[in-house]
Amino acid sequence: MKNFFKRLSLVCVVVMVLSAALTGCAGGKKGDEPSGNVSEPTGEAVRGGEVVVGIQQDIDSLDPHLAVAAGTDEILFNIFEGLVVPDENGNVTPAVAKDYTISEDGLTYTFILRDGIKFSDGTPVTAGDVKYSIERCAGLLDGTPLVKALSIVSHVDIVDQSTINIVLSEANLEIIYYLTAEIIPASSQESGEIIGTGPFKLESYTPQEGITLVRNEYYWQEGLPYLDKVTFKIVASAESAMMELQAGSIHIYPYLTDDQANELAANFNIASNGSSVVQALYINNAVAPYDDVRVRQALAYAIDKDAINDFIFGGRGQLIGTSMLPDYECYVDGLGYEHDTAKAKSLLAEAGYPDGFDMEITVPSNYQIHLDTAQVIVEQLKEAGINASIKSVDWSTWLDEVYKGRDFQTTVCGIAGSLTPSYLLVRYQSTAKNNFVNYYNEEFDALYKKISTSLDSKEVTEGYRTLQTMLAEDAASVYIAVPPVLIAMDKTLGGYRFYPIYVQDMKYVYWTE
């Protein structure tokens, strides 16, 4: 029996200390230092009211199974839930299901559905809805898995109206974390309805403006949410966010720069926490000259990550050398490249570019930290003889051309992690749909395939470490940092919680008297 209220004993367990502040403020910056927790107001919690949250990008789909952007997931988290959901400590906790068991061979997961649980339109959640949702994500309906990790689901059986068996074709130590996949009505296949079991339901959505959610009166968790309405408002730029915060037209903004946090500290609750985002100069490995490992390594040597951390993140970022979050136990420290301009020039000459080359860095314009990082990188690359320029594009263009279309040279962006370390590695398989950097390494593919089916936790852990080493040695991209989360919040708001994944959970947020 696996109890929802106990952390599963898996490899590479997340050991994030969510309440700890990322300290250090380099570069001579002044101002109040943000704390690790948002300070709770002294007044009594009031039920009702509306909160406006500033967001940086439009959503890419209202269908939770089709959404690919982390910025979409952070909003839809409030509308949809899976059989289990993550909590702020990285545990999986009960949601649509109230309990589950795992067979001795690790191949059958039996879920017991929560009594009386309903969708936000008041209709009961049935075993058929669960079966449809899992089969859709696993690709059992049309052969196209929408959640790649669930492609090992062999079949889903309805035992009775409150019991579901999810049967795997092969055991997997991390599969429970992917059973957070959202449960939606089976009828939505025809109706297209946007209905879930989360604390809020969709009221309206206006492209390029924002999305408004209202309280789900049928939510199973008694007493939640506090708020009547939450509006996620798209803010055009960091400057616009500052003005709207100060004018009171938005109440929460979770994407502050270091300078903004210090400027707002006197009038807002400011908190800092480690993010779950791997920021990097992502490189298209299939496009010349970046198809030459020596060129990619030269870029890695030419970039000074310490300077980026000091200048952009005020020293609060965690420097990394691979596509993995440092808070996983399987993270390999010491990978990556020390800043060495002479070494960069030597590698470029060896690759046939003694005078450097012209380079384009595509950046989504709605992310100020990535724009700022790219600007620093442009200046650093000049020292190695590389003439880099920034191509700033809107979010939808970046998503279509860079992430989906793979039509780019390099890009500065962040890839959000998940509750499992495999999420940040699986995308580097040569056949992975989201391998937008076109990384190709047969040894990587073979090892990933081997450990993905292993039930030996030591073998899996060592495998993850070897995969990270391959990415570093191949300079698949130039991994820079895990940026801090810096959030500004109205001082009369309480209940905000940090998570080890990219979400804005609004069910606990409340106004005070």
CATH (domain of 225): 3.40.190.10
**Closest CA relative to residue 197, chosen from 144, 133, 136:** 133
Residue 47 lies in a domain: yes
Q: Are residues 314 and 412 in the same domain?
A: yes
* Helix residue ranges per DSSP H, 248-319: 258-264, 293-302, 305-313
Domain stops at, among 149, 178, 196 = 196
Check whether residue 268 and residue 332 sit in a common domain: no
Do 192 and 206 share a domain, yes or no? Answer: no
Residue 31, domain member (yes or no) = no
Domain boundary among 152, 169, 196: 196
Is position 17 within any domain?
no
Bond from prior residue into 185 cis (ω within 30 degrees of 0): no
- Shared domain check, 291 and 437: yes
Residue range(s) defining the domain that contains residue 69: 39-76+198-273+489-513
In a domain, 86, yes or no: yes
397 shares a domain with 336: yes
Q: Is 4 part of a structural domain of the chain?
A: no
Count up the domains in the chain and report the number: 3
Check residue 253 and give its pLDDT: 94
- Is residue 224 assigned to a domain? yes
Distance CA 35, CA 57 (A): 26
Packing angle, helices 368-382 and 293-302, rounded to 10:
100
Look at residues 352, 401, 388, 353 and name the one whose alpha carbon lies nearest to residue 478.
Answer: 388
C-alpha separations of 257 from 17, 57, 309, 313 in Å:
22, 16, 12, 7
Quote the pTM value: 0.75
Strand partners, 252: 53, 489
Same domain as 344, residue 241 = no
Task: Please give the Cα distance from 480 to 94 (Å, whole number).
Answer: 36
Q: Which two three-digit tokens encode residue 40?
A: 């709770």
Indicate the DSSP class of residue 35: B
The answer to whether residues 190 and 203 belong to one domain is no
Q: Which amino acid is at 423?
A: Y
Amino acid letter, residue 290:
Y
Last residue of a domain, one of 196, 230, 257: 196
The CATH number covering residue 352 comes to 3.10.105.10
Q: For each of the chain's 513 residues, which pLDDT tens digit applies?
A: 333 323 333 333 333 322 222 222 222 222 333 334 556 787 889 999 999 999 988 999 999 999 988 789 999 999 999 999 988 888 899 999 999 999 998 899 999 999 999 999 999 999 999 999 999 999 999 999 999 889 999 999 999 999 999 999 998 888 999 999 999 999 988 888 899 999 999 999 999 999 999 999 999 999 999 999 999 999 978 788 899 999 999 999 988 888 888 899 999 999 888 788 899 999 999 999 999 999 999 999 999 999 999 999 989 899 999 999 988 889 999 998 999 999 999 999 999 999 999 999 999 998 889 999 999 999 999 999 999 999 999 989 999 999 999 999 999 999 988 878 888 999 999 999 999 999 999 999 999 999 887 878 899 999 999 999 999 999 999 999 999 888 999 999 999 998 888 889 999 999 998
Is 301 a domain residue? yes
Nearest partner of 79 among 230, 234, 233, 253, judged by Cα:
230
Write down the pLDDT at residue 39. 64
Please tell me whether residues 304 and 409 are part of one structural domain: yes
The CATH number given to whatever domain includes residue 121 is 3.90.76.10
Confidence (pLDDT) at 421: 86
